Amino acid sequence: MAVAAERAAALHSFTKEPIEVDMKPLRRIRHSLSVKRSPQAKALLLTEVVVGVASAVSSLEALWAATRQEADEDILRWRLAREMVSSGSRTLLKALDATSGAVAERTVEGARLAAAVSLLAPWTSTRTRAAALTWLAASSALTYRRRSFQSDGSDQLLFQVQTATALARLSGDRRITDTCLWYISLQSVLAYSVAGYSKVAGSQWRSGAALSGILRTEMYGSKWAFDLVQEHPRVARMANIAVIAGECCFPLLYFIKKGTLARHFALTAGSFHLVNTCTMGLGRFFWAFTSSYPALIYTARQVTENRSMTPNEII
């Protein structure tokens, strides 16, 4: 009876004690949502959020594809691509070997997905963001070397954005961050302009036949879109011309009205990628290229104001 009485007394005293809740995480979330950020900090944060979405989409696609194929049976797997890596690069080969194979690749993509998700929340700490971006950039470099046959322009641009934002976060320096945002902007402008001028050199694009040719392929085709351009060839030719003109003229966003139309350029380009996503299934291009838009708008604003950020505008 004495033992039971002691237990009852202990339970009574326990229930009387106030429950302490750690308010630090909640305060950090509330602070992160209410804090006033400089234009530079906003651009960097928005870039990271879109990078997180783009990286998450890429990892989910890779994980989904892994469930639909047998391990090491794909002709584009690492055991064949390994022959393209120089035998003198022993450290690189060891890193690639360690991250290759069905189990290792799924583990890497799972870790990439976790890092990408951590970037979506604005209250994630600077150290966590820097670590996540560094991991995404490093793993993207390894993935590119391991699957160079399967990579495309979206993977290459996303890697550039991941690397630049990682350097910006790791530095914590305003001027380095500014340089990284300009680097992202110029990479985006270069990607659009090179794509446009390469189309100018192609007779199929100039004649208007390229679009219908792409839409009838199995990988990037769309029956309803192909039927549309077949029934309305003038529409197809005008679309070809619009794509070429838009990509070639993209660098002008810094010069027309001193950069004040940057948002319109970004909106037009984003709409173009959205249409491609719906018709050709190029979803990764949408997220990879839009990840550069916050930096484009920020740098265009600098051109508009014709000044650098003041020392008070820090991250």
pLDDT tens digits along 14-27: 444 444 444 455 55
Phi and psi for 62 in degrees, rounded to 5? -65, -40
Amino acid at 290: T
The confidence score (pLDDT) of residue 170 equals 94
- Residue 1 tokens read as 């009876």
Which parts of the chain have pLDDT scores under 70? 1-35, 66, 68-90, 92-93, 95-101, 145-152, 221, 306-315
Q: pTM score, two decimals?
A: 0.77
Q: Which residue has the tokens 């890497």?
A: 108
The confidence score (pLDDT) of residue 282 equals 76
The confidence score (pLDDT) of residue 4 equals 54
The confidence score (pLDDT) of residue 295 equals 94
Phi and psi for 70 in degrees, rounded to 5? -75, 150
Left (φ > 0), alpha (ψ -120 to 50) or beta: where does 281 sit? Answer: left
- Residue 271 tokens read as 């709409």
The confidence score (pLDDT) of residue 35 equals 65
The confidence score (pLDDT) of residue 9 equals 52
Among 292, 267, 265, 262, smallest CA distance to 46 is for 292
Q: How far apart are CA 252 and CA 184, in angstroms?
A: 16
